[in-house]
Amino acid sequence: MIGTTENYPAALQDTSGHSGVSWAAIFAGAAAAAALSLLLLMLGAGLGFSAVSPWANEGVGAKGLGITAIIWLAVTQIIASGMGGYLAGRLRVRWASLHGDEVYFRDTAHGFLSWAVATLVTATLVAGSVSSVIGSGVQAGASVASGAATAMSSAAGSAAGNQANKGAGNGTDYFIDTLFRDDRGTAVSEDAAHGIVTRIFVRSLGNDGQLSNEDRTYLAQIVAQRTNLSQPEAEQRVDQVYTKAHQAIEDAKVKAKE
């Protein structure tokens, strides 16, 4: 009796029109590979942090850590890709009436595709995370720079105002000092003496460059009090220092004009 196709359905079934790719198995293998790769990377990061020491001459060096990281990444990819490819090959649909070499090729292709999908997904996630971190860093840097610029502008304005007030008060302070001058050579502190001398010098050099006899005598009294010099010696020192200060200002004016 001649057999019919009903007696041998598997042997006579035509599978040439069916796709040789089982995407469900590929995505399952890719998910397994990505998850295993993530776990191994976290494990490697923990081991790396435990091997590094903040103290000098302790723990793994930079060169050793770099080599270890490269080896660990390579091993991680091999293990994760192997597991994903194995699952993709075992979960794919069964093919009938195929040569063993063709089955082997299709299983290998499924493993490769699962690795490729896992790599693309991982790269996309990493790129998105890095972009988010960089964007947040740039935004934070811009905010800090803007705040610093505002603070610097405020500080500059305050400094300019203080300097203007200080410059305007020099003349007034000079006249106030003259109210308390004493020909008896009343003792003054070092800070007070510096302030008095500074105000007299600024006023005299800023006006006509001439030191009045009254100011000269008063400065000599202060110098004599602070240095135990005689009045004539103190007056001579005042003349020398004032002449040097006046000459320094004139030299600065000449250089500025050049």
Cross-strand partners of 52: 59
Residue where the block lists tokens 């999908």: 117
pLDDT at 89: 80
Q: What is the dihedral of CA 111, 114, 118, 119, to 10 degrees?
A: 60
Residues ≥6 apart with Cβ < 8 Å to 40: 72, 75, 76, 79, 80
pLDDT at 19: 65
Instruction: In whole angstroms, give the CA distance from residue 110 to residue 241.
Output: 94
> For the chain, what percent of residues have pLDDT higher than 90?
0
pLDDT at 73: 84
Residues of the chain with pLDDT below 70 are: 1-20, 54, 56-57, 59, 95-98, 141-142, 144-188
- Determine whether 226 is exposed, middle or buried from the number of CB atoms within 10 Å of its CB (0-12, 13-18, 19+): middle
pLDDT at 2: 47
- Sequence spans of domains, the chain: 20-143, 163-257
Residues ≥6 apart with Cβ < 8 Å to 28: 87, 88, 91, 114
pLDDT at 163: 47
Q: What is the pLDDT of residues 176-199, one digit of tens each?
A: 666 556 665 556 677 777 777 888
Instruction: In whole angstroms, give the CA distance from residue 108 to residue 97.
Output: 18
Specify the pTM.
0.41
- Reference 107, options 121, 87, 79; nearest CA is 87
Instruction: In whole angstroms, give the CA distance from residue 207 to residue 217.
Output: 19
Contact, 115 vs 123, CB < 8 A? Answer: no
